[in-house]
Amino acid sequence: MKKTVDIITRLSEHGYRLTPQRMMVLAAIEKSDHHISAEEIYAQVVTKYPHFNISTVYRTLELLHRLGLVTETDLGGGRVRYHPADKGHHHHLVCQECGRVIDLDESVMDHLKLVLRRDYNFEPDIRHMAFFGTCADCGK
Amino acid sequence: MKKTVDIITRLSEHGYRLTPQRMMVLAAIEKSDHHISAEEIYAQVVTKYPHFNISTVYRTLELLHRLGLVTETDLGGGRVRYHPADKGHHHHLVCQECGRVIDLDESVMDHLKLVLRRDYNFEPDIRHMAFFGTCADCGK
DNA sequence: AAATTTATTGCAAGCTTTTGCAAATAAAAT
DNA sequence: ATTTTATTTGCAAAAGCTTGCAATAAATTT
């Protein structure tokens, strides 16, 4: 399990600056126990740093995602949710009827990953997927 | 291959009204040879119907998607793209480096669909997926 | 054919996310 | 320690999409 300090090292190694804003966004994501939204990160940081702007949250999230340190997932609800990539890769089933979110083990995507690599020579970024559909209860 | 008239029948059967706006949105989607965006549909219809509003496009697309007549897919580029569901189910690989879009046969998702149905009793709506990643050329 | 009912539309406002740009500042060079 | 540099930030505006609501109009009933 990677720690915040390792992510900081990665940023530094890639030549990105270690700004207080980035450190606070990172802390908010790492300490969150759920799939956090940009607005939630903003709300946490702005209490300590009143000038803080939400566009910095989005830019930091884009950077962390591009470096593979954070996953971005649309779980419905009209906003994207973020999760530290090191806190376990997993996927979700989202019921479009009742909104229920079912956790899925990472391994369910292994076969598809293999096919895309082998048959299409494509390296997919499948670390945190959400599939929409109808759950057992709602399907009668 | 389903025709526009069949979609109109389905709408009518479900008790939805056959308004001129809906007919024009439908015509724009059906006659498009690519994955069309809401803005493109709006631009086409508004030339014939100046009062036309883009919120009607989004509401019509949501309805057609809910009835399974149209697929919604994020192919990158900051906007969702729409496609008639009857024009062949297929999927895409989107390269995050060069933006290249590779077409994928519907069957690549068969195994995953089976697993989700069998092991999770979940009926997934996997009719038009896009997977992001790195294509053969960009992966060196 | 007219009246009734109820879904749908247009409009305006709002929400989430992105972007251009000048000012600020982290890190490197002196 | 100071200056230089290039990245990053805050701000404002905009893009894409959604939603509340009163007015409109499709379809049903009379």
What would the pLDDT profile of B47-72 be if each residue is shown by its tens digit?
999 999 999 999 999 999 999 999 99
- Over the Cα atoms of chain A, what is R_g? 17
Distances B119 to A76, A95, A139, B45 between C-alpha atoms, Å: 23, 16, 15, 45
**Predicted ipTM of the assembly:** 0.90
Residue A1 pLDDT = 56
Residue B116 pLDDT = 96
Q: Specify the CATH number of the domain B4-84.
A: 1.10.10.10
Distant-in-sequence, close-in-space partners of B78: CB < 8 Å, separation ≥ 6: none
- Nearest to residue A71, comparing CAs of A128, A123, A7, A11? A128
* Range list for CATH 3.30.1490.190 in chain B: 90-133
H-state helical runs in A32-129: 38-46, 54-66, 110-120
Q: Which of residues 80-139 of A touch strand D (CB under 7 A)?
A: none
- Series of mean pLDDT values for 10-residue runs along chain A (140 residues): 83 95 96 94 96 97 95 94 86 91 93 96 94 90
Q: What number is the average pLDDT over the span B133-140?
A: 89
Which amino acid is present at B130? Answer: A
DSSP category for residue B114 = H
Identify the CATH homologous superfamily for domain B90-133.
Answer: Ferric-uptake regulator, C-terminal dimerisarion domain (3.30.1490.190)
Residue A29 pLDDT = 96
* Range list for CATH 1.10.10.10 in chain B: 4-84
A93 and chain B: CB distance < 8 Å anywhere?
Answer: yes
Structure tokens at A88: 């376990």
B31-CA/C2-C1' distance, Å: 39
